[in-house]
Chain A
């Protein structure tokens, strides 16, 4: 059972979260699948459901073969009624199970807003903590290939805005598995958002089950001149930008927040306190977005250390377009980051366009 198999078990003792190179190379998609599989192996209360999760494609391969392994009672296809499915997750959680509800697109979460925001997020609090509510809702972001306006929305800020929901956004295979196992073991609702563009990215992942605690950011690369704080896919771009800038002698620290709620401001503030400069990156809309929250907190908490204003890069305030030419304008690339950092370092007054 879960409660007896925390991170300190077989894997946790000698396999600290930061201990790299000990696992096999596993893709992000395989890591998610392995996380789901091990959660189900270790705890009979865990079950998976969602539209099409049992088909051969298996949600981009992340659920492939799991029904064959665990049976149709614990891995099953559903009617297309996202809101009701979310309520069913709540009810089955109250009955002692640990549901994982899977959506292939984050856009579909808007169909389940009532049960997510009015019920799942509130249930524990409004009954005075009478019952825990472990449940994971997993959804996928990342557009491209003309996915356009209704199949590509990164809506993490909307969910993080709602008290009572935790929001987890892993950006590498190692984190994906460890955060998924933690999310399933939580005692309150967790929204787990994985990014399609990372599915083939490989990373060292221990074979045993392990957990990464929610609310712990990860300093992915150490640096001294500027803190690059990133969410989800932006970590990949951030590391590319940091490597590029290193050639120019600009030493950038990269921090992956990993969970946007709870948010680890301690790690972020410690970094910005040291570097004195911050650029916050989100694969989400800048307006009223996560970057705004992080920037505001940095400005309040370590104002005295800042050598420049806190800048941010996110998605523009428009729906996602379809044409590859327009998509290119919509999604920021590594150049947007390197350019912005160079301007910050030069102390320029005007940094970036809409970003």
Chain B
């Protein structure tokens, strides 16, 4: 890890954000078998550093567009955990009033414009949000998260082209976890170096270790600064690994989709543990502080789950509203 590019107070916030994401999804795993959350869940466990390191730097009014694997992005951008749980529990108090489930959550009051479960579907929407900012001169920027699978899709290239053509304030963040469901990147893509594609469109593209939150922060800071200056979009390829299966709470190891060595390697690179060790070894936080954070996050999540379970289901007649 490189030298810390931000003050300790910010480091603590980033760490807390990562713990909130990790704990949120660990709680889903614990409760999922009760079958009260009756929707598919796509977990981002193991990828927390990318969401936390990027989104801590955005303003509340800046936009984020995400995917079906969206929990981390929502949490890091400031969505309320209770309305996220309520959504997964299919309740009226959910952030999508029970109409979206885990795959479709938005939180406009925190700039979360929406999430698309169609691969690459969010990219042009993020570009459009940025176009809206430019035309209205309101200085909002737009960050879009997508997986390596999105790079297979035509709209990825079209979106990069349009954003560059109009010099739009977009940060394209590719969370390259090397698999689209279970299809490995090398079976799908001629050039595995996704960041190089950006350069064809005259967009700066960088490749970073997505499990190193300091590296994520630094790369995102550069991209965001370019946006704020009006210099146009950037692309960050953050290499990472998803610990869980494409959809569901099991791991791919249990399902026999991954090799033991591969999974073990990425477990050792756990982004949360890594940042924790980093902060502890430099005396920036104490073990006691970490324990306190984990405890308070745990309580916050328990309260969110309680809120969801005690919330009413949507009234049946709302099935036909909001079309």
Contacts and interface: CB of A to CB of B under 8 A. Distances in A.
B158 to A, nearest CB: 4
Interface in A119-151: 119, 123-131
Nearest to A126: B104
Contacts of A124: 322-323
B100 A128 contact: yes
A91 B131 contact: yes
A215 interface: no
A91 B323 contact: no
Q: Among A81, A93, A118, which residue has the most Cβ atoms of chain B within 10 A?
A: A81
Q: Among B116, B127, B128, B323, which residue has the most Cβ atoms of chain A within 10 A?
A: B128
B128 A92 contact: yes
B158 A128 contact: no
Interface string A78-109: 11010111111111111111010000000000
A118 B121 contact: yes
B159 interface: yes
A47 B133 CA distance: 13
A128 B96 contact: yes
B304 to A, nearest CB: 18
B108 interface: yes
Given A128-B98, A130-B106, A79 B322 contact: no
Nearest to A165: B323
A88 B128 contact: yes
A126 B99 contact: yes
Contacts of B155: 81, 83-84, 87, 114-115
A84 B321 contact: no
B126 interface: yes
A115 B129 contact: no
B113 interface: yes
Nearest to A99: B128
A347 interface: no
A89 B129 CA distance: 9
B118 interface: yes
A188 B162 CA distance: 24
Nearest to B118: A118
A131 to B, nearest CB: 5
A91 B130 contact: yes
B57 interface: no
B217 interface: no
A79 B154 CA distance: 13
Contacts of A93: 128, 132
A63 to B, nearest CB: 18
A125 B161 contact: no
Contacts, number: 140
Interface residues on B, range: 35 or more
B99 A128 contact: yes
Q: Among A94, A118, A124, which residue has the most Cβ atoms of chain B within 10 A?
A: A94
A245 to B, nearest CB: 40
Contacts of B129: 91-92, 94-95
B241 interface: no
A99 B131 CA distance: 11
Given A87-B125, A95-B133, A118-B121, A127 B159 contact: no
A119 B162 contact: no
A304 interface: no
B125 A130 contact: no
B125 A119 contact: yes
Contacts of A97: 131-132, 135-136
B104 A127 contact: yes
Contacts of B125: 87-88, 90-91, 94, 119
A95 B106 contact: no
A164 B116 contact: no
B95 A95 contact: no
B322 A84 contact: no
A198 B268 CA distance: 68
A164 B159 CA distance: 24
B114 interface: yes
A73 interface: yes
A163 interface: yes
Given A94-B114, A119-B116, A129 B322 contact: yes
A307 B114 CA distance: 52
Interface in B99-145: 99-100, 104-108, 113-114, 116, 118, 121, 123-133, 135-136, 140, 142
A131 B161 contact: no
A81 B158 contact: yes
Given A84-B159, A128-B100, A114 B118 contact: yes
Contact of B162 (A73, A84, A125, A129): A84
B124 A115 contact: yes
A188 B321 CA distance: 13
Interface in B191-241: none
Interface of B: 63, 65, 94-100, 104-108, 113-114, 116, 118, 121, 123-133, 135-136, 140, 142, 154-155, 158-159, 161-162, 165, 321-323
10 contacts: A79-B161, A84-B124, A84-B158, A88-B162, A91-B132, A94-B129, A114-B121, A118-B116, A129-B321, A130-B96
Given A88-B125, A88-B131, A125-B323, 17 more contacts: A78-B162, A79-B165, A86-B124, A87-B124, A87-B125, A92-B131, A96-B136, A97-B131, A124-B322, A126-B100, A126-B104, A127-B96, A127-B114, A129-B322, A130-B96, A131-B113, A188-B323
- Closest 5 pairs between A and B when the two form their complex, measured CB to CB: A91-B128, A95-B132, A87-B124, A128-B97, A129-B322
